[in-house]
Structure 1
Amino acid sequence: MCGIIGCVGTDETVPTLMDGLSNLEYRGYDSAGVAVQNGKGIATFKRSGKVAEVRKALPESPPSGTVGIGHTRWSTHGPPTDQNAHPHTDPESRVAVVHNGVIENYDTLRAELEATGNTFVSDTDTEVIPHLVAHYLDQGDDHETAFRRTLDRLDGSYAVAAIIDGDDTIYCARHGTPLVVGIGDGSYFLASDVPAFLERTSEVVYLEDGEIARIEPDGFSMMDVHGDPIETEIEHIDWDPKDTGKGAYDHYMLKEIDTQPTALKKTLEGRIEPETGTVSLDGLDPGHFEEFEQVDLVACGTSYHAALYGAKILQEAGIEAQAHRASEYGTSSQLVSESTLAIPVTQSGETADTLSAMADAAEAGATTVAVTNVMGSTVARQADETVFIRAGPEIGVAATKTFSSQVVTLLLLARRLAEDMDDGEPREDFDEVLAALDRLPDDIQHVLESSDARSVAHKHIDSDAFLFIGRHLAFPVAKEGALKFKEITYEHAESFTSGRLKHGPLALVTPSTPIFAVATGEVRSKTLTNATEAKSRGAPIVLVTDDCDANADLGDYHLEIPETHELLEGLLANVQLQLVSYYAANRLDREIDKPRNLAKSVTVE
């Protein structure tokens, strides 16, 4: 959560910072601000609200300078006000700081500083950082030493960047929260995430926990907490800068729904050979997983629903597999041992709860294989193995294309596990699965071009609540459909296994509670029966299935999907539900790409 941007060595510092903040606004948009070292002190501009509010606050001629930092905030400590917006400074504005994470001992530090006469103006934990740096400067420390001594006092998680008056350097460090340095042509950048500066460079260096960087006009250097130098490795990010823009679309979310066929082609490229019935997965050769006895998938939000889908596929293949909410994994009673394969599933690779669950699994002796979208992310660097979903950058807070790519990647991984593990039972019809996977991008394109989701969404816009039901592989899709709907429409939506409907939730059913029935797979007939029970109580039924004509009397409205293998039907149904959520939210004039109270990457527990 929250987004940091910094730049050194460009004459257009403020415009560069503002562009970076706009690119990072999916990480938080409660408030924003910039601070620039302009040779006459540090000029700071910040406002509550979105980045656009800061643009309005800037003078007609923004301050010049070649060093600056910026921040867009998702509030933790203190409400989104002008005073709580970053950057924060010491009372004399000698030091400006931006920070992501949580300083757990800030109360103690603040009391200590107040006892020496320091005055605080915000409610944030971050403000103690510039005060501490200034305190050590007053004791005679040089800039770097003051910064390092400050870090030594902080408990908790942080990505922090500081500028100091009279110094053309950005000092930055990370502990549990991501930071990446971008290496341009005569300029250098710092950010929470690569899209902040991707149009300017794709050459990057990722900071590890406990590492500190000095970024200066003539280069950058890395050190540990003791000041000893560290060797760095430059990585190339293979993302097209055009992928981080909306293009002709009104919203990133619709663009990312529409580009799922392209994303899935990249997910599958070089990994399947329908003609020979083989799967190749990033060096995970046959026999790679033969020593494992159980699989634990850990994830949050949309990634958890993809993990649920993947777990059901693994269970069908005879493998002992469970999907766990990452935040509960360390407190649950499951047995984890050296025979456990833990699979963290995370789009960003920075989700704090998922990283914590992965660490718990590793401590218990499990091997970890991450399924993620972002090269260089923390989960990719800390896992024993990584399989990338290759979906490209996803900017909309509500995940769409990455769900599809995660499920497909897990399906391919399930094939390798079924072949390797003792209890695994590889599907006899896997050649049909591969053929369906090969058609999947075209099938999704057909859904996108033929969907009636807009009219369905508009017809039910005034409903009291929205219920989503499904069985087996359709249940994770129903859960994801309800999550998408509530995320961006702010309307009440719930999901149930369809069999649960009559065991309590049926009391919620009225003519103003449409039920989206995802009827796929061999168990579709039971879901249709449950939908019939709800219809008899007056509920409008929106039927999502591959044979709407055969169920014309049941469905008041129909969202049809192409015929495909039962393992993939849920992905086609999911696209229909994504479109319903989008068109409903658009009709309600919601902030679709930036839903209230949410952020794309949740980097605090």
Structure 2
Amino acid sequence: MCGIIGIVSLNESKKLAEMTVSALKRLEYRGYDSVGVASLSASGLEVRKAKGKVEEVVYQKKVEDMKGYVFLGHTRWATHGPPTDYNAHPHIDCSGNIAVVHNGTIKNYKELREELESLGHKFKSETDTEVIPHLIEEFMKRGMEPFQAFKSAIKSIDGSYAVLAIINGERRIFFAKRDNPLVIGLGEGQNYIASDIPAFLPYTRRVVIIKDGEIGFITPETVYIEDQEGNVVNVKERVRVIDWDIETATKEGYPHFMIKEIHESPKAVKDTIEGFISEIDLIKEVADEIKNANRIIVIGAGTSYHAGLYFSLQLQRLGYTSIPIIASEYYNLKAKKGDIALAISQSGETIDVLQGIRKMKNEGAKIISLTNVIESAIARESDYKLYMKAGPEIGVAATKTFTTQLASLLFLTEVLQGGNINKLEKLHQEIRDTITKVEGITKRIGEKLSKKANIYYLGRGLSLPLAMEGALKIKEIAYVHAEAYPAGESKHGPISLVEKGFPVVIINDGELTDLLQNNLMEMKARGAEIYTVSVNKKMKDSDIEIYLESEFPAIVISPVIQLIAYYASVSKGYDPDKPRNLAKTVTVE
């Protein structure tokens, strides 16, 4: 996920640079590892870009000194190629007359790059985006006018995209959209186009939402759009006037980033699965390393530990010797040659995980990492780097990143078993359907649990890590004391606290339902209030049960436990995005 902004004006002005920078600051939540700006003026095309956050790059490259009548801006969340100066957007063609910014993923960029290189094109980055300006250049060399060349370039790419392109001599910004947000802002003597409305909200509230498959261009005074069949769109019928404030617009109408990010889980999982399929040779190589390892040590902290525990239990069931390790306790295990350590971290910077893999690497283990940030510290120190494509996560409590970790590990499990990875392409739809189905009932459960002082979350087998995550979530953001136990262990002490009205949440993935039913009845006999989340097999005598069906229970349970915690938090009047005493990334021991 990246942030893009384009401004086209009747007048050449330094003020446009200041507006572009201001817009990039409002888009920085979409990506913050590198920044770039391109301008078109009477002098031609100029690009200034570098690795770093908006404020750093703007100061370093003196971006606000740029002049022009057309500006493009980009703040990046790396997906192809690490965060570097040369991988930062905008990207240009060989002639230096075309600049492009892009949010999304181009699946066939390797084939396109090889073809373009064979035609003499020179590439300067490792990104998938760079093929686009070279494609436009190539089609223009063949005699096409700029818009036709742009359309031909877009037709050549396979993937998801929000693309903006500018061409020297043209007072137009060309655009195309598929699966990534893009919206036009209508001004006076200048128009805007961006990933999100907040980018241009201080300048206009008149917007035109671009739909999937549409392509076109904006000038200072006009908007031209074609639909995916080539029909011209009546833009006047699309114009809307919005009354959001900046913060609401950044959250796209959601009250909090956390709920927005739960709803982004389907896309995060879809992008990740597609990414893994495109890197299947690497995934198979990682699977072979696991198959040949003496032991597989799975290390993570917090939510990432729970995802790792889920994977470790799956490995144990497949006959592997797998050891799950809470990252801060890494010193208790001595690795040796022949071991594999799988490090899981959303940020890729978690200090306990980093210290753990350094120790294990020194002891002879190979390191595999699963992170959401390209070329993070953990990824850099790994022998094999696997990347999720969840995009930035603003809420402190992990939501879409946990669901995406589970999806990534399910994919790896399927490859280990020689299973059918194509069936994983439906995961995102199952998550979307689940959220639609359960939002109302999770709100009801969350409101009830918010009034409690203590909660048990119980699970068995593969549902135990999910119970642990459910307890963690409601502790983190609703400040309700919650403990997770293996349900069979509840008789060995915890049940002594159960009395009338004591809430017990049972996570049932459908595998050990009969045993969980016995535990439910033990709790019920002592007056407990029972809430169950069941997949494929229903339970009896619950006070409230959420029932779902899925071939991959974990992937649909994940958003349910997150929604319960979210609604518990907001019903108590708390801000779930900023839980007290917690930070998004723990970088100190």
The question of a shared fold, defined as TM-score above 0.5 by the shorter chain, is answered with: yes
Distance 2:263 2:554 in 1: 17
Distance 1:203 1:237 in 2: 13
Give unpaired runs (5+ residues) of structure 2: 1-13, 39-46, 59-71, 86-123, 130-160, 162-179, 181-193, 199-249
Distance 2:581 2:536 in 1: 39
Aligned position for 1:294: 295
* Counterparts in 2 of 1:392 and 1:270: CA distance versus 1, 3 Å: closer
The answer to whether the Cα contact below 8 Å between 2:30 and 2:75 also exists between their aligned partners in 1 is no
How far 1:247 moved relative to its partner?
1.2
Return 437-446 or 180-189, whichever deviates more: 180-189
Structure 1 residues 307-456: aligned runs within 5 Å: 307-329=308-330, 331-332=331-332, 334-416=333-415, 418=416, 426=417, 430-431=419-420, 434=421, 437-451=424-438, 452-456=441-445
* Counterparts in 2 of 1:194 and 1:582: CA distance versus 1, 3 Å: farther
Question: What does the per-residue CA deviation read over 1:468-498, in whole Å, with 9 as the maximum and x for residues that have no partner?
Answer: 1101110000000011111111111111111
Distance 2:427 2:57 in 1: 32
Give unpaired runs (5+ residues) of structure 1: 1-8, 27-178, 209-232, 419-425
Paired positions, count: 398
The answer to whether the Cα contact below 8 Å between 2:54 and 2:75 also exists between their aligned partners in 1 is no
Letter in 1 for 2:262: I
How far 1:292 moved relative to its partner?
1.7
Residue 182 (structure 1) aligned with residue 35 (structure 2): yes
How far 1:501 moved relative to its partner?
1.0
Name the % identity.
31
The answer to whether the Cα contact below 8 Å between 1:237 and 1:375 also exists between their aligned partners in 2 is no
Aligned position for 1:551: 539
Letter in 1 for 2:271: K
The answer to whether the Cα contact below 8 Å between 1:181 and 1:206 also exists between their aligned partners in 2 is yes
How far 1:505 moved relative to its partner?
0.9
Residue 527 (structure 1) aligned with residue 516 (structure 2): yes
Question: What does the per-residue CA deviation read over 1:141-194, in whole Å, with 9 as the maximum and x for residues that have no partner?
Answer: xxxxxxxxxxxxxxxxxxxxxxxxxxxxxxxxxxxxxx9553444655664799
The answer to whether the Cα contact below 8 Å between 2:510 and 2:535 also exists between their aligned partners in 1 is no
Residue 248 (structure 1) aligned with residue 285 (structure 2): no
How far 1:380 moved relative to its partner?
1.8
Distance 2:53 2:328 in 1: 23
Distance 1:532 1:192 in 2: 55
Q: CA RMSD in A?
A: 3.7
How far 1:412 moved relative to its partner?
2.5
Quick check: which one's helix share is greater?
Answer: 2
Question: What does the per-residue CA deviation read over 1:576-598, in whole Å, with 9 as the maximum and x for residues that have no partner?
Answer: 11111111111111111111111
Letter in 2 for 1:514: P
Distance 2:255 2:390 in 1: 21
The answer to whether the Cα contact below 8 Å between 2:458 and 2:506 also exists between their aligned partners in 1 is yes
Distance 1:539 1:466 in 2: 10
Letter in 2 for 1:597: N
Structure 1 residues 187-198: aligned runs within 5 Å: 191=52
Aligned position for 1:86: none
SS of aligned partner of 2:394: coil
Distance 2:56 2:281 in 1: 29
Letter in 1 for 2:406: V
SS of aligned partner of 1:392: coil
Letter in 2 for 1:537: R
The answer to whether the Cα contact below 8 Å between 1:314 and 1:320 also exists between their aligned partners in 2 is yes
* Counterparts in 2 of 1:318 and 1:196: CA distance versus 1, 3 Å: farther
Question: What does the per-residue CA deviation read over 1:359-415, in whole Å, with 9 as the maximum and x for residues that have no partner?
Answer: 111111111110111112122222111111222222111111111211221222234
* Counterparts in 2 of 1:286 and 1:501: CA distance versus 1, 3 Å: closer
Q: TM-score if structure 1 supplies the norm length?
A: 0.59
Letter in 2 for 1:527: L
Distance 1:436 1:471 in 2: 26
The answer to whether the Cα contact below 8 Å between 1:468 and 1:482 also exists between their aligned partners in 2 is yes
* Counterparts in 2 of 1:280 and 1:514: CA distance versus 1, 3 Å: farther
Q: TM-score if structure 2 supplies the norm length?
A: 0.60
The answer to whether the Cα contact below 8 Å between 1:21 and 1:196 also exists between their aligned partners in 2 is no
Distance 1:298 1:193 in 2: 33
Distance 2:289 2:380 in 1: 19
Aligned position for 2:506: 517
* Counterparts in 2 of 1:190 and 1:279: CA distance versus 1, 3 Å: closer
The answer to whether the Cα contact below 8 Å between 1:182 and 1:203 also exists between their aligned partners in 2 is no
Return 281-290 or 309-318, whichever deviates more: 281-290
Letter in 1 for 2:35: G
Residue 496 (structure 1) aligned with residue 461 (structure 2): no
